[in-house]
Amino acid sequence: MKTLQYQPKHAFASNVIVFGFFLFVAQVGTYFYREVGTSPAMIMAPAGIAIAAVILEGPGVWPAIALASIANGLLNGTPLFLVFAAAAGNTLQPLAAFFFLRKAGLRRKLATVKDMFLILGTSLFLTAIVPTVNAGAIKIYNHLFQGARPAYWTSWWLSGALSALILTPFLIRWVRYPLTRRTPAKTFEIILALLALTVLSYFLFATPHVAVGGFSIIYPLMAVLLWIAFRTDSRVMTLSLLLMTAISLGGALYGNYVPAPGGLNVRIFNTQVFDFILAAIFFMLVSVEEQRKQAIEDMQDRTKKLEAALERIRQNDEAKSEFIATLAHEMRNPLATFMSSVELMLLGQGQDPAETKRLAGMMQSRIQTMKRMLDDLLDVSRVARREMEIKKEPVSLLQIVRQAVTLVESFIQSRQQAFSISMPLEDITLFADPVRIEQILVNLLTNASKYTPEKGRISLAGIREEDWLCLKVSDTGIGIPPDMIDRIFEPFVRVKHDSGMASGIGIGLALTKDLVEMHGGTVTVRSDAGGSEFTVRLPIEMPPAIGAEPAQKILPQQRLPAEGLDVVVVDDNKEAARSMGKLLSLRGHRTALLHDGHSVLDYLASARPDVILLDVGLPDLDGYEVARRIKARGNSPALVALTGYGQAEDILTAHQAGFDHHLTKPVGLAEVEEVLKQIRPPA
Ligand code: ADP
């Protein structure tokens, strides 16, 4: 909600209006009082106008207030000295009110008890400024010019306070606020209440009939005010109190009531005290009631939001349960192929090398599929736990595109789809994580192919739009139903297709969106019966200035591929150790195989390998303990942990234990090679 503003929108117009209104009301007041011959300025209506003006338009309207006050003084024939003193007081008072109310955080709606207290406080205390300045000036004037002008500090203060309490809330609630929409019944009720208030006020203040059958009219008047407080709002209340005050003061000046001792001045004073007290009480009451209504509305609003959140949780839960079933199903397919390949190999062991190679190739591709799924799953969980990190570096767009396309090309070809690529003529250097950008493209292209019938068309386009790179992946596939468009980026959400079109496990797009957003980009989708188009927008950033931290802090210096390292493979699963050893020796490394922790420590007593690949789940000593002991001896070979879990804690534990690198199982040769590349053999 807005607090008070400093600057009016149309400064000149605001000043003209404030000037005119202030002067008009001041002159009308003077006229009425002159007519009945009471002491001057018994009512300070302009005080409330000036405070409302600064609340509505800002302190920039002070010239209007000052000039109107001077003009009023001159028109009344007041001595110049007093005119300027009054102008100073009249200007200072609203400005003081503005800064106080702004600091205290007043809101124009006056819907809270706090706002009403602020207005009441301003009315009571800050309105002492004008009478104090005026009374002081009169004292000086009388002294300087031997005058005998009277000063009525208390009356001036009271009338200023009443004006601030009645006129200020009325103006700030009614000026520049759209009319509240009400039902005809409500409008009728309000008119009825105002009518009752007018009649009762009139009888009470302007006639001798102040009681009916010995029962004072004050009581029904209170009842009507209570009615207004509980059945309407602060806006109607400000109008009601203004009405009552106007009638009561008009009644005091011109009414036909039974005169009381003290004369007119005393009657006016008492009426003002009465109005002030009543206004203070009923303003409070209406704001308490309004705040209560607001609290109920807020609560209903919050309940609605909670219900919506619950519904989302229920949907997520459903999606998750479905996901588990899908995952099991999706894992079974590659596993089944894998199993049958193994069985075939066992049956025809070593007989036909070409057949063995074909079966092994099939097994490898199935394992790759499963590994990709597991990697995605791990990534999604990392993002959910905010543990995912991206390692940005300057990379060529074309290079990333080339790599991504290499990965999906054969899949697209196998579905006989036409694939086109268009990229900007000039290569773009992105400051991004190449692995993740490649993953984004692979996900979108694989989906495009998966959800497009055979012989369909798929395209990838890169467009530079100033400092943004737009990557569009379009297809002529089955499209996405409109009601699912907003949901497909949520984890585990999949569209159920009647067509039996291939489907995955529903995390690809969620991950894609996370990865894009981690790069400061956005991903959107458009889809109709003719196909879908996913647009990824990435900022083309410059790398940070020199001196920034290198992305891969934990890795030692990189170097070119090793000419062959001494590698110890430690795994209690002898099969796993043997096949890893074999792969490594095929790559030109010298390997030793060990299967428990103690034998590693013994081995190191006599040998000095370059690197140890250590499975952490060993039967005797756990891998972390082995690492700790090796490190404690000093001059340790590079240690690479192999674990089944790739969560941040596992990686952290591994590094704390002294491991230099960490790999999550299943580990392929390529990943091990990647790590070995970074290990320097002894000089
Ligand atoms: P999935 O592994 O199921 O493909 P995604 O998160 O990648 O999971 O996609 C979520 C859902 O969005 C998919 O199940 C699919 O129904 C829909 N979808 C994604 N890409 C496309 C596309 N190019 N055309 C049609 N539907 C798509």
- For residues 540 and 468, the answer to whether their CB atoms sit within 8 Å is yes
Phi, psi for residue 622 in degrees, rounded to 5: -80, 160
- For residues 422 and 459, the answer to whether their CB atoms sit within 8 Å is yes
- For residues 255 and 204, the answer to whether their CB atoms sit within 8 Å is no
Atom of ligand 1 at shortest distance to CA of 503? 3
Residues with CB under 6 A from ligand 1: 447-448, 451, 475, 477-480, 488, 494-495, 503-510, 532
Atom of ligand 1 at shortest distance to CA of 510? 6
- Give the per-residue pLDDT at 34: 67
- Give the per-residue pLDDT at 553: 34
- Give the per-residue pLDDT at 457: 94
Which residue is closest in CA terms to ligand 1's atom 19?
447
- For residues 640 and 662, the answer to whether their CB atoms sit within 8 Å is yes
- Give the per-residue pLDDT at 39: 53
Mutate to test the pocket of ligand 1, among 451, 498, 512 (most ligand atoms within 8 A of CB): 451
123: nearest Cα among 229, 50, 173: 50
Atom of ligand 1 at shortest distance to CA of 509? 6
Cα 322-324-325 angle, rounded to 5 deg: 65
- Give the per-residue pLDDT at 551: 39
Give the sign of the dihedral formed by CA 478, CA 483, CA 489, CA 490: negative
Buried-exposed string 461-493: b where 16+ CB fall within 10 A, e elsewhere = bbeeeeeebebbbbbbbbbbeeeebeebbbbbb
Mutate to test the pocket of ligand 1, among 471, 472, 494 (most ligand atoms within 8 A of CB): 494
Cα 372-376-380 angle, rounded to 5 deg: 170
pLDDT < 50 regions, the chain = 1, 40-41, 546-562, 683
To the question of pTM greater than 0.95 for the whole model, the response is no
Phi, psi for residue 637 in degrees, rounded to 5: -70, 170
- Give the per-residue pLDDT at 555: 32
**Distance from Cα 440 to the centre of ligand 1, integer Å:** 13
**Distance from Cα 496 to the centre of ligand 1, integer Å:** 10
SS3 489: coil
Give the sign of the dihedral formed by CA 367, CA 373, CA 374, CA 375: positive
What the chain holds in terms of domains, given with CATH numbers, is 1-177 (1.10.1760), 393-539 (3.30.565.10), 566-679 (3.40.50.2300)
Atom of ligand 1 at shortest distance to CA of 505? 2
How many whole angstroms separate alpha carbon 268 and alpha carbon 250? 10
